[in-house]
Amino acid sequence: MRFEIVGVDGPSMGESPTLMPFVKGLEEVLTAEGDEKAGGEGSGTKVVFNFFPPDRPRPHHRGSQATFVVGITAGPEPEGDILQAVYPMMIRSLGNHLIYLVEPIAGNGVPRATYFVTLERGYYPLEDCAPEDYFHHVLDRVRPLAESRLVINNEFREDLPPGFWEGNERTQEIVIASRRMAEMDLLPAPFPMETLLPEKDFLHLKRLFQIGGLSYGNVSVREPGYGFWMSASGVDKSRLEHVGRDILLVRDYDEAHNQIILSVPPDISPRRRVSVDAIEHWMIYRRHPGVGAILHVHAWMEGVVSTEINYPCGTYEIARAVSDALATVDDPVHGVIGLRNHGLTITGENLPEIFDRVGPHLLRQVPMS
Ligand SMILES: [Zn+2]
């Protein structure tokens, strides 16, 4: 994959005992594995490694949605909740991912601990690796994520049949299920990105990804013959109201243009995009015709089949990993699949059936590994 390393000549980088050796080790292993250095913007950069000191997360403005940005910084072991300490650094640096190196470097030349942090608010330590393999392991964790493909663009078609404009029993199911999620406290408040970012950086993210703040959890219901209904992105799910704005009909996925096709009524303003997980739900409905509804939450259940790689939300790869995992369970229509370091995707006949079946077993804490 074509890579760029940025930030290494930034202020105070030379003072860090950890970052410069890390740059060197990373570059060596990238070269050894046949990855090529990109010549800058517009030369097909797949991944940018953005180094910065922890007190000054340097934003990297990427040229394209398809570029994956990994922030890398170093500091002491965070006190208390690691996520709370380092997640804002990732947001401020405009990264898709963050690697936090715990100083000082141990006698064997590698950081005392290495944490990977994801936009889905997952984090996990790099464990049990021999120092001579350290950079290979780091890259093994990053490579599949960086090479995954986002499917988050939407095409709006103003062709929603008038019979659906006021909703139906299935959109009502979504309204009720979303309220139920809020009552069960399964809907964390959207992450306040705009309060952490200067306006210019927030607008940059908005332009590239059309996001208004990160939020988690969503539901969908199949509409036989048409596709499926799904909650919109970034809306308060405890207050879904309008069909075509808060609840959207996903008709299909257009592979050639890599976008999700939505049917909306005419003259909806402002237009809202569908949840980034639409590609995952689309693939599940297509491959598993008996599935009538899907719930996604950032929670966990004992004994579930889980995906191996924590691909980012909204990628074709996470969609494939989840629907593949679903194909391995005895009853894919009533499946519970773990998304590693992330949450659960649960299939069912309809949403009330899903809640009744899994509600009592949900664990708030997602295990991280
Ligand atoms: Zn999620």
**Cα 88 to ligand 1 centroid, rounded to whole Å:** 18
Instruction: State yes or no: cis peptide before 270, omega within 30 of 0.
Output: yes
Q: Compute, in angstroms, the gap from residue 28 CA to the centroid of ligand 1.
A: 34
Cα-to-centroid distance, 351 and ligand 1 (Å): 17
- Residue 11's pLDDT is what? 64
**Predicted structure pTM score:** 0.90
| Bridge partner residues of 177 (DSSP) | none
Ligand 1 mean position, distance from CA 37 (Å): 32
d(CA 38, CA 18): 24
Which residue carries 């990297």 as its tokens?
A: 60
Distance 56 CA to ligand 1 centre (A): 28
Give the separation between CA 134 and CA 29, rounded to whole angstroms: 10
Provide Rg for the chain, Cα atoms.
Answer: 21
What's the gap in Å between 296 CA and the centre of ligand 1? Answer: 7
Cα 109 to middle of ligand 1, angstroms: 36
Sheet with 293-297, edge to edge strand ranges: 153-157, 259-263, 247-254, 227-231, 218-223, 293-297, 343-348, 336-339, 305-306
Distance 79 CA to ligand 1 centre (A): 26
Strand pairing category for 218-223 and 293-297 = antiparallel
Distance 194 CA to ligand 1 centre (A): 20
State the distance from the centre of ligand 1 to the C-alpha of 30, rounded, in angstroms. Answer: 30
From residue 113, give the alpha-carbon distance in Å to each of 53, 128, 342, 360. 17, 11, 21, 36
Interval between CA 307 and ligand 1 midpoint (Å): 13
Burial class (CB in 10 A: 0-12, 13-18, 19+), 100: buried
Q: Calculate the alpha carbon distances from 165 to 38, 69, 112, 168, 224 in Å.
A: 49, 40, 57, 9, 16
* CA of 120 relative to ligand 1 center, distance in Å: 6
Distance 10 CA to ligand 1 centre (A): 34
* pLDDT given for residue 146 in this prediction: 92
- Distance (Å) from CA 342 to ligand 1 centroid: 6
Q: Ligand 1 centroid vs 254 CA: distance in angstroms?
A: 22
- pLDDT, averaged per 10 consecutive residues of the chain (369 residues), comes to 88 75 92 88 85 90 90 91 88 93 80 90 86 93 93 94 95 93 77 80 80 77 97 81 92 96 90 92 97 94 93 93 96 96 95 94 85
Report whether 123 contacts 86 (CB < 8 A): yes
In the reported structure, the alpha carbon of residue 260 is separated from the centroid of ligand 1 by a whole-number distance in angstroms of: 18
pLDDT at 336: 97
